[in-house]
A and B are shown apart, each in its own frame.
Chain A
Amino acid sequence: MKSKLSILAIVAVLASAIYTNTASAQIYRPMYFNIDWQFNAIVGDDYADTPTGWGMNFEGGYYVTPKLAIGLYASFHTADKHIGEQLLELSPSSHLFTDQIHSVFQIPFGALLKYRFVEDSMFEPYATLKLGTMYTSTSSTTQVLDFYDEQWGFNVQPEVGVTIYPSAHKRFGIHIAAYYNYATNQSQVLSYNINGINNVGFHLGFSF
C-alpha cells in the first residue's frame, strides 16, 4: 500500500512540475512564430489548378489573453500547369496557336486573429482568421513570348490547425494546419479571365 501511495505521490509531483513549467513558459512567452512549408491548390478555376508545394508561410502573434492572439501573416506560393498546343481566340480577328505554361504566383499578407481552444497543453488546437491583401502575378509562358498580368486584391483566409509541443519544457513545436484562402484578384492573360482566386491547402512546419 505504501509503495502504491509513493508512486501516486511521484506522479502527482511530476505532473505538477510539468504543469508548472508549461504554465510558466506560457506566461513568460506570450509571443509565437510559425514557419511552414505550404502545399496549395487553386480550386474553382482550371488556369493553374495543379496542386504544388512551392510555397512557404510565415506568421507571428501576441496573446492578448491566454487564448486570443493577434498578429501578422505572409506567405507565397507558385502554381504551374502545362497546357498543350491549342488555338486561342484573342479577339474576333486574331488567333494564337501555341502550347503554354500557366503560372500563378500569390503573396497574401495582412493581420490575423487566432483563438486556441486549449492552452498549456501538448496539443493546442486553434482557429485563425486572416485578413489582408494579396498580390498575384498570372502568366503564360511560351517558347518565345511571355504574357503577364499583375493584380492586387482583398484576401481572407480561415484556418484551423494544431500546434504540438513534444517537450513541456521548451516552447518549440510542430505546426500543422489546413486552410481555405480567397482573394478578389482579377486577371486577364491572353484569352483567359480569372475572376477571384480560391485556394485550399495545408501548412506543415515549426512553431516557437
Chain B
Amino acid sequence: MKKAIPILLLAVAFTACQKEPDPNELSSDLIVYTNYDKSANFGKYTTYALPDSILVLDDKAKPTYFAADDPRTTSIIQAISSEMKTRGYERVMSNADADLGIQVSYVKDTNTIISYASTNPYWWYGYDYYWPGSYWNPYWYGWGPSYAYPITYTYTIGSLIVEIVALEDANATTKKIPVIWTAYMAGIQSSNQFNINRTVSGIYQAFEQSPYILSSVQR
C-alpha cells in the first residue's frame, strides 16, 4: 500500500498539469438548447395562450414576476408572439380556448430547482416546486407536467426557460399536462444584469432550430 502512495501522488500531480481552457477564447456568450416530444403533432394546434408576465425563479417561497409593463417582459413576449404568428398560431387571451400554453421562466438566483431523475428520464424530481408557480397551475389546480423526452442539464443562474405545453391534450386521469417543447437559454446576463438583446436573440435562435413548430395553417 505504501508503495502505491508515490504513484498516486504522481498521478495527481500530472492531472494538475492540465491546461484549463480560456473562456475569453469564446466568441459567443449565448447557448441555446431545445428539445421536443417527437410524438407531438404540432400541426394540429392552432391557438395558444401566453401570459403577459414572466415568472422569476429565485429562492423566495412566493413566486415573483417581471410585470407586464417591464421592458424585459414586453421584449420577450413580443419575440415569442412574432415567432408563433409566423408559424401559424393565433394567440388567444382565454386559457380555456387555447390548444397550447407557453410558459416563460427566468432563473434568477437558484440552480437547484430541478434535477435529473436517472431512474426514469421522463420525470424530474423537484419540478413540482417550480410548477405551482406557473401560470397553468391556478387554472389546472393540482396538475403537473409530463415530459416525453429526457433533459440532461441543470438549470443555471441567469437563464431563460421557455416551454410549450399541450393544454388540449391534458390527461384528466393522471392530471398531467404534456410538455411538448423546451427551450433553455443560458448566458443571457452581462455584468450580472439581464441583457434584453441577448435574450431576444436566444429566443429567435430557439425557434430557428425548431422548424417542427408549425401549425397546419402554415403547411
Q: Are A141 and B23 in contact (CB under 8 A)?
A: yes
Binding-face segment, A91-99, A120-128, A153-161: A91-99
A85 close to B (CB within 8 Å): yes
Q: Give the interface centre of A54, A93, A94, A137 by most chain B CB atoms within 10 Å.
A: A93
Q: Are A142 and B33 in contact (CB under 8 A)?
A: no
Q: Are A76 and B31 in contact (CB under 8 A)?
A: no
Which residues of chain A come closer than 8 Å to B158, judged between CB atoms?
144
Q: How many Å lie between the Cα of A74 and that of B14 in the bound state?
A: 9
Q: Are A94 and B14 in contact (CB under 8 A)?
A: no
A126-148 contacts to B, CB under 8 A, are 137, 139, 141-145
Distance in Å: Cβ of A147 to nearest Cβ of chain B: 9
B29-45 contacts to A, CB under 8 A, are 29-38
B131-188 contacts to A, CB under 8 A, are 149, 151, 153, 156, 158-159, 186-187
Q: Are A74 and B10 in contact (CB under 8 A)?
A: yes
Interface of A: prevailing SS: strand
Q: What is the 8 Å Cβ interface bit string for chain B, positions 79-104, against chain A (1 contact, 0 not)?
A: 00000000000000000000000000
Number of interface residues of A (CB under 8 A): 31
Q: Are A96 and B31 in contact (CB under 8 A)?
A: yes
Q: Which residues of B contact A (CB under 8 A)?
A: 10-11, 14-15, 17-19, 21-23, 25-38, 149, 151, 153, 156, 158-159, 186-187, 205, 209-210
Q: A76-B14, A137-B18, A144-B158 are in contact. List 4 more A-B contacts (CB 8 A).
A: A76-B18, A78-B18, A95-B35, A143-B28
A-B contact pairs, 11 of them (CB 8 A): A76-B17, A82-B27, A94-B33, A94-B35, A96-B32, A99-B27, A101-B26, A103-B21, A143-B26, A143-B30, A145-B31
